[in-house]
Amino acid sequence: MPNATTASLSRRGLLAAGGALGLGAVLTACGDDDAKDGGADTKGAAKSGPWSFKDDRGTTVKLDEAPKNIVAFTGVAAALYDYGIEVKGVFGPTTTKDGKADVQAGDMDVSKVTVLGNVWDQFNVEKYAALAPDVLISTMFDDAGTLWYVPEASKDKIAKLAPSVGISVFDRQLTAPLQRMWELAESLGADMTAAKVTEAKKRFEAASERLRKAAKAKPEIKVLVGSASPELFYVSGSNLSIDLEYFKSLGVNFVEPTEEAKKATGGWFESLSWENVDKHKADVIMMDDRSSAIQPADITEATWKQLPAVKAGQVIARSTEPILSYDKCVAPVEALAEAIEKARKVS
């Protein structure tokens, strides 16, 4: 993602830039060892006694008591908030240019957290130290244990200030990291028997079954996953991303980039010029909802407007980096199910 050309971009850079996950930096630039186990009205009290959690790197973080000063990637903080666990500081997309909460901040009151960095490669180490952090928590988009949105240049300084926990969102289905975030929240003292929590899980399961039935009833409906930037349109593959792998397991018929194109991006996506945006035929288009990507209503390219799915009004938002609470994952599943149920074959 942050390097000059797609061919030389690191996997981490590719993710930050967008492609499979949306667009960002590519346009401007083109812990120890054992893990366990998240909104506001399900407040949990931190458990007394020693705390330990084995994360998805196989690293076990051990503390004398459950961490109170938690710093987390914005999306992780949003998920924990839904389970009643609040953090002191965040890093990653938190506020938009007009000061409102970014989509990845979920229901958090962003005015009550210290923002250490709002964009890629931004992390105020001094502010972080001042928070006296007990633990740093982030997701991981590769199998090398790279913590999402922790800058490469300052990762060693950051690591010295507090232990870290990594939750993998790489090459697995959505239900796996959802369960891991559940376990993490529970270990931090969240009440996982609260009605809000248990009902959200039931709604997610019901939404998933609805999507399964919709996909089975209309197997001919082809779904394309895209992300827009000023220069390029990105078509995501259904492998590697937790939401798409899960939707595919439920029977959704995804448009796939060519294998040759995916090789240049580590398997994530295919880059198309706007002149070639009609290369793949689709009946429904899912578009990256993150603030780093151009939203469908703001796309002015004539070639986009002529796409059959666009003309038919069969374009929906995609939660490209899902907030890993069951509550927040219900809407994306329901939206895709409804889109397939209502879709006309236009490709």
What is the full per-residue pLDDT of the chain (347 aa) written as tens digits? 222 223 334 444 444 444 434 433 333 333 333 333 333 343 444 567 899 999 999 999 999 999 999 999 999 999 999 999 999 999 999 999 998 999 999 999 999 999 999 999 999 999 999 999 999 999 999 999 999 999 999 999 999 999 999 999 999 999 999 999 999 999 999 999 999 999 999 999 999 999 999 999 999 999 999 999 999 999 999 999 999 999 999 999 999 998 888 888 888 999 999 999 999 999 999 999 999 999 999 999 999 999 999 999 999 999 999 999 999 999 999 999 999 999 999 99
Residue 169 has, within 13 A of its CA and on its CB side, a CA count of 23
- Beta carbons within 8 Å of 165's beta carbon, 6+ residues apart: 31, 35, 53, 55, 59, 61, 135, 136, 137, 138, 184
CA 238 to chain centre: 14
DSSP letter at 302 equals H
Q: What's the confidence (pLDDT) of residue 19? A: 40
Q: Give the ranges where 18-154 is alpha helix by DSSP (H).
A: 25-29, 74-81, 125-130
Place of tokens 């850079």: 13
Q: What's the confidence (pLDDT) of residue 30? A: 33
Give the other-Cβ count within 10 Å of 65's Cβ. 12
List the strands of the sheet with 70-73, edge to edge. 114-117, 89-91, 70-73, 135-140, 164-168
- Beta strand extents in the chain (DSSP E only): 51-54, 60-63, 70-73, 89-91, 114-117, 135-140, 164-168, 222-228, 232-236, 253-254, 269-273, 284-288, 315-318
- Cβ atoms of 37 and 185 within 8 Å: the answer is yes
Q: What is the dihedral of CA 77, 178, 205, 336, to 10 degrees?
A: 70
